[in-house]
């Protein structure tokens, strides 16, 4: 069992290499073991490309040649962090491939909740007479795909709240002045996060006062879709959030209009259940995860609605003595770490 856990951890380590590229697919890692050595491994390609199992098989072919690798497969164990798919989507079913190559054993981290898979991939493999084990490092496998599981099970994106606050609990100056709280290292880390998530959201005040571009320019990776809550369309077309670096979706009370990089979506009864309505619209657009970055009122709206999954809070050593109080969130503290002189606290919402 310890050996199974070791190889499954390797699957998880591989899976995260797909962060920011596989959505709305899950992140999956696969490892093929023959006589106690790894002969092939892989992770899910960018969306539309081969899945982890296919890439692991291809890796084995490259290392040993197709003919010899196929012989090895009949004695080999393949470890996969998520149940192999059972349906034709962008690619053929991975479960069928494992059956075709007659693997001796298949070890699965956790089952896939997607209706077209959800136990069906496992059944295909079992019906072929292949020995199977399910549930190795199950909670870790589920956690690695918490974005995917949230979208499938709750019909909304995974919501990450993010802000910085002073040591005495202030979020921003009272006079709408732009003033940085966190340090340069924290700022770069935030840009890394942006490259890993599908979308990032701010409200009108943040767009007007800070004029953010909301890109991942300080990190190598894709830019997220930019989401703006702007009830009365006050943010001018010249704002940085409307540049050509990424698509911007504007939720408002007046107009629906879709252009190449700017999409206006009018919501009826605008203030009513606003976080819920926005997240459902984004779910329909296959957006799997979102960072809610500000301002304080926007963050608090998601907190008050109870619709958040993770909060990432930078606490600087600055003392302001006055200003706009930071949002208040109750969650389970997962980790605390140093980022330069800042302290980063990550909390999980156990009631979401």
Q: How far is residue 116 from each of residues 87, 142, 210, measured CA to CA in Å?
A: 6, 18, 44
Q: Residue 243, exposed/middle/buried by CB under 10 A (0-12, 13-18, 19+)?
A: middle
How many other C-beta atoms can be found within 10 angstroms of the C-beta atom of residue 236?
Answer: 11
The encoded tokens of residue 179 equal 């003033």
Residues 6+ apart with CB under 8 A from 337: 343, 344
The encoded tokens of residue 307 equal 């619709």
The encoded tokens of residue 66 equal 């197709």
Residue 218 CA, chain-centre distance (Å), reads 19
Known catalytic residue: 83?
no
What is the spatial distance between Cα 247 and Cα 56, in angstroms, rounded to a whole number?
34
Active-site residue identified among 5, 41, 53, 75: 53
The encoded tokens of residue 126 equal 């079992």
326: which DSSP letter? P
What is the spatial distance between Cα 240 and Cα 210, in angstroms, rounded to a whole number?
10
Going by C-alpha positions, the residue among 114, 98, 117, 118 that lies closest to residue 106 is 98
Going by C-alpha positions, the residue among 173, 178, 222 that lies closest to residue 324 is 173
The encoded tokens of residue 71 equal 């012989």
Q: What 3-state DSSP class applies to 249?
A: strand
Report the catalytic residues: 53
């Amino acid at each position: 069992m310890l050996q199974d856990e070791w190889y499954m951890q390797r699957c998880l380590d591989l899976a995260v290499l797909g962060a920011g590229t596989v959505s709305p697919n899950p992140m999956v890692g696969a490892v093929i073991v023959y006589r106690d050595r790894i002969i092939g491994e892989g992770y899910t390609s960018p969306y539309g490309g081969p899945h982890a199992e296919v890439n692991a098989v291809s890796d084995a072919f490259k290392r040993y040649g197709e003919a010899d690798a196929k012989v090895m497969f009949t004695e080999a164990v393949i470890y996969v962090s998520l149940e192999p798919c059972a349906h034709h989507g962008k690619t053929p079913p991975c479960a069928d491939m494992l059956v075709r190559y007659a693997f001796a054993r298949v070890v699965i981290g956790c089952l896939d909740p997607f209706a077209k898979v959800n136990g069906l991939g496992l059944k295909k493999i079992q019906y072929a007479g292949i020995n199977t084990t399910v549930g190795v490092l199950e909670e870790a496998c589920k956690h690695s795909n918490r974005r995917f599981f949230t979208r499938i099970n709750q019909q909304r994106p995974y919501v990450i709240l993010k802000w910085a606050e002073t040591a005495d609990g202030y979020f921003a100056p009272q006079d709408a002045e732009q003033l940085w709280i966190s340090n340069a290292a924290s700022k770069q880390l935030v840009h890394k996060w942006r490259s890993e998530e599908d979308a990032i959201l701010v409200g009108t005040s943040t767009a007007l006062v800070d004029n953010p571009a909301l890109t991942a320019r300080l990190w190598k990776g894709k830019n997220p879709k930019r989401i703006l809550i702007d009830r009365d369309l006050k943010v001018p077309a010249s704002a940085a959030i409307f540049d050509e670096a990424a698509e911007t979706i504007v939720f408002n009370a007046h107009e629906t209009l879709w252009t190449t990089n700017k999409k206006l979506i009018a919501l009826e009864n605008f203030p009513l259940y606003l976080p819920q309505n926005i997240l459902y619209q984004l779910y329909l657009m296959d957006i799997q995860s979102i960072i809610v970055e500000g301002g304080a009122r926007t963050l608090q709206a998601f907190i008050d609605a109870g619709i958040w999954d993770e909060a990432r809070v930078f606490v600087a050593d600055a003392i302001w003595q006055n200003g706009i109080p930071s949002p208040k969130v109750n969650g389970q503290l997962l980790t605390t770490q140093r980022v330069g002189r800042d302290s980063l606290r990550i909390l999980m919402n156990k009631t979401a």
